């Protein structure tokens, strides 16, 4: 099947530079303002639409995950994202790679069902070391179901107190692993915010009824979602994101990619939605200056991070390459600095720390970008 860019699946398409791929990913991820030339791309109208578009947004750091939704939403605010959680439209739970993600409620069963067995197998040794056996899980499951039944919510600390009272210790990471197990068993999800914490809710009460997709159907469905929201990307990127072996994703990924456009990048074939590829010959996004949260999908959503983070800056974004990703400032989808939260609790500020001197227009863009973060906090 010939793609809209003149390539064929497995055969490559138009060549794209690093800067072009970076710009196209900005468009796919909904990080550009909507406009008449956006081909239907651009920021989403509301937080739920932003999360649906992305499929899943990494959120092991809750504040960063919520901000990732906000920057992908027109006039996105902290209160608006909180409302999406309070309504049950968006939930946070452990999905692929044993990591917490924000996901649209209707997608949770598909994501968790696909990931659970693999994640639990990889954690089995740790669970044994923590003294977690099947009978222990049965105890905390009953506690959770009894305490949360009837659409009630408890924070992590409140659930830990209940587990401890039932003879199930929660110290030394045992409690968080018990919660992860119950979440992978589709007993629990995380819903409304209560202050800076989230309430846990029973999945069967909080999520839409019905089963999620499974097997190759699930992988192909998620591959289509991934290419639409993260492309240009390759099957290795998708396998990393989904936390599945390359052999598991290859067939479904190729089936999904056959309906898209292909580009050649550094000897690799990347795939994306046709409307994203159509921007290749334009300058759309070249001057876009963004302040993004830590752990953002623009960096973490790919096995190869060099498109978003130049090699010279990698250790400044991920100090010691230790898995902790700083909040970043980017121009045209390429990182040029980081930012930190300063000011006071009542008047927080986003303070940029640039790696290079920028042209006046880009420097002015940085000021607007950090002001956008401050507006999110204030809203």
Neighbours of 322 (CB within 10 A): 8
Return the structure tokens found at 146: 């009894």
Tell me if 249 sits within 8 A of 219, measured CB to CB: yes
Tell me if 260 sits within 8 A of 230, measured CB to CB: no
State the average pLDDT over residues 73-93: 97
Rounded Cα–Cα distance for residues 267 and 20 (Å):
15
> What's the distance, Cα to Cα, between the start and end of the chain in Å?
47
Return the structure tokens found at 212: 């999620």
Please state at what angle helix 156-165 crosses helix 134-148, rounded to 10 degrees: 120
Tell me if 104 sits within 8 A of 48, measured CB to CB: yes
State the average pLDDT over residues 252-262: 97
Token look-up 């390459």 returns: 321
Rounded Cα–Cα distance for residues 331 and 309 (Å):
11
Q: What is the share, in percent, of the chain residues with pLDDT greater than 70? A: 95
CA angle 263, 249, 272 (to 5 degrees): 25
Tell me if 85 sits within 8 A of 198, measured CB to CB: yes
Return the structure tokens found at 252: 């479904």
H helices of 55-100, in order, are 62-70, 78-87
Token look-up 């209160």 returns: 79
Tell me if 335 sits within 8 A of 310, measured CB to CB: yes
Return the structure tokens found at 11: 């055969």
What is the DSSP annotation of 340-374?
Answer: EEEEETTEEEEEEEESS---HHHHHHHHHHHHHHH
Q: What is the pLDDT of residues 338-347, one digit of tens each?
A: 999 999 999 9
Q: What is the pLDDT of residues 114-144, one digit of tens each?
A: 999 999 999 999 999 999 999 999 999 999 9
Tell me if 60 sits within 8 A of 294, measured CB to CB: no
Q: What is the share, in percent, of the chain residues with pLDDT greater than 90? A: 92
Q: Which residues pair with 28 in a beta bridge?
A: none
| pLDDT band at residue 322 using 50, 70 and 90 as cut-offs | confident
Query: Would the pLDDT of 38 be above 60?
Result: no
Q: What is the pLDDT of residues 268-299, one digit of tens each?
A: 999 999 999 999 989 999 999 999 999 999 99
| Burial class of residue 373 in the structure, from the number of CB atoms within 10 Å of its CB (0-12 exposed, 13-18 middle, 19+ buried) | buried
Name the residue among 11, 366, 58 with its Cα closest to residue 241: 58
Query: Would the pLDDT of 351 be above 50?
Result: yes
State the average pLDDT over residues 319-340: 94
Name the residue among 281, 302, 293, 284 with its Cα closest to residue 233: 302
State the average pLDDT over residues 27-54: 86
Q: Which H or E run contains 146?
A: helix 134-148
Return the structure tokens found at 278: 């159509």
Give the count of alpha carbons within 13 A of 78, CB side only: 14
What Rg value do the Cα atoms of the chain yield, rounded? 21
């Amino acid at each position: 099947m010939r793609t809209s860019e003149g390539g064929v699946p497995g055969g490559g398409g138009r060549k794209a530079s690093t800067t072009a791929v970076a710009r196209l990913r900005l468009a796919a991820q909904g990080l550009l303002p909507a406009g008449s030339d956006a081909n239907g791309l651009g920021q989403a109208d509301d937080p739920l639409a932003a999360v649906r578009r992305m499929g899943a947004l990494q959120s092991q750091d809750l504040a960063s995950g919520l901000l990732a939704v906000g920057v992908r939403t027109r006039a996105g605010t902290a209160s608006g994202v909180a409302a999406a959680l309070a309504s049950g439209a968006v939930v946070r739970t452990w999905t692929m790679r044993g990591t917490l993600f924000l996901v649209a409620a209707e997608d949770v069963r598909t994501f968790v069902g696909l990931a659970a067995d693999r994640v639990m197998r990889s954690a089995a040794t740790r669970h044994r070391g923590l003294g977690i056996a099947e009978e222990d899980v049965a105890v905390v499951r009953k506690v959770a179901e009894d305490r949360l039944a009837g659409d009630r919510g408890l924070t992590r600390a409140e659930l830990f107190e209940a587990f401890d009272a039932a003879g199930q210790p929660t110290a030394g990471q045992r409690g968080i692993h018990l919660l992860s197990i119950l979440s992978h068993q589709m007993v629990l999800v995380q819903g409304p915010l209560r202050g800076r914490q989230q309430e846990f809710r029973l999945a069967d009460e909080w999520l839409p009824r019905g089963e999620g997709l499974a097997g190759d159907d699930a992988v192909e469905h998620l591959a289509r979602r991934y290419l639409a929201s993260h492309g240009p990307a390759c099957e290795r990127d998708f396998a990393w994101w989904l936390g599945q072996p390359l052999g598991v994703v290859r067939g479904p990924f190729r089936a999904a990619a056959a309906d898209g456009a292909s580009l050649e990048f550094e000897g690799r074939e990347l795939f994306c939605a046709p409307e994203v590829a159509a921007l290749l010959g334009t300058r759309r996004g070249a001057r876009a200056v963004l302040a993004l949260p830590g752990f953002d999908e623009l960096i973490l959503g790919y096995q190869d991070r060099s498109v978003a983070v130049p090699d010279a800056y990698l250790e400044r974004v991920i100090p010691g390459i230790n898995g902790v990703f700083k909040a970043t400032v980017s121009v045209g989808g390429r990182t040029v600095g980081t930012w930190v939260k300063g000011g006071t609790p009542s008047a927080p500020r986003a303070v940029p720390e640039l790696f290079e001197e920028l042209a006046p227009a880009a420097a002015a863009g940085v000021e607007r970008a950090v002001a956008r973060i401050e507006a999110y906090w204030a809203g």
